[in-house]
Amino acid sequence: LTQKEEYCVVILGLDNAGKTTYLEAAKTKFTKNYKGMNPAKITTTVGLNIGTIDVSGVRLNFWDLGGQQELQSLWDKYYQESHGVIYVIDSNDRERMDESKEIFDKMIKNELLSGVPLLILANKQDLPDVMGVRDIKPVFQQSGALIGRRDCLTMPVSALTGEGVNEGIIWLVEAIK
C-alpha cells in the first residue's frame, strides 16, 4: 500500500474575494457525494478554513486564510509549508483592486514562497460588467519581476457557479507535482 503524496496549498486574497466559496466549489467538484455548504450561508473567513481533495493521484490540503488586515500577519506561518498558492481576486470590486495588488505584492516578495506555483483567479465572472482577465492580468503582472520564474497562471472563474474551478485545480496540481 503506497501512501498518497500530499501537498499543501494556501488560498489567499482580500476578505470577500470568494476564497471560502472557491474552496467549497473545489471540494464539491472533486469529492464524490460531497454536499457542499449552501453558498448563501458562507460568510467571510475569520481564522482558517481547511479542506482536502484528492486529484490526479495526489492529495491537496487547502488552507483558506482569513483576509482581514488583522489576520494577514498570520499568513507567513503557513507559507513555509506551502507547495502552491491560489490568489483570489473579486473582479467586481474595482475600488479594492489596488489594495488587493498591495497585499499580493507583499505575498510574492516573501522568500518562503519563491518558486512556488501561483494560480491567480479573477473570481465572480458570473456577475455583469466585472473586470475580465484582460483587465486584471496587467495589474498583477506589474509585479512580473517578483513573480519571477515560478509557474503562474491567471484565469477567469466563478466560485459561485463552479465555472473554471476544475481547470484551475488541475493546472495547479500539474505545476506542483
The nearest distance, CB 148 to ligand GDP, in angstroms, is 26
Which residue reads 493546472 in cell numbers?
A: 171
Closest CA to 137 of 115, 155, 151, 124: 155
Nearest CB to ligand GDP, comparing residues 159 and 172? 159
The nearest distance, CB 118 to ligand GDP, in angstroms, is 17
The nearest distance, CB 26 to ligand GDP, in angstroms, is 12
Please indicate if the annotation marks 54 as binding a ligand: no
The nearest distance, CB 124 to ligand GDP, in angstroms, is 4
User: Measured between alpha carbons, how far is residue 43 from residues 8, 25, 54, 95 in Å?
Assistant: 23, 15, 25, 21
Please indicate if the annotation marks 123 as binding a ligand: yes
Please indicate if the annotation marks 115 as binding a ligand: no
- Under the rule (CB under 6 A), what is the footprint of ligand GDP? 13, 15-21, 39, 42-45, 67, 123-124, 126-127, 158-160
Please indicate if the annotation marks 51 as binding a ligand: no
Residue facing ligand GDP at closest CB distance: 18
Residue 68 appears among annotated catalytic residues: yes
Nearest CB to ligand GDP, comparing residues 42 and 119? 42
Catalytic residue among 68, 80, 141, 142: 68
Nearest CB to ligand GDP, comparing residues 58 and 153? 153
Please indicate if the annotation marks 159 as binding a ligand: no
Annotated binding site for Mg(2+): 20, 45
Annotated binding site: 13-20, 45, 67, 123-126
Catalytically active residues, by annotation: 68
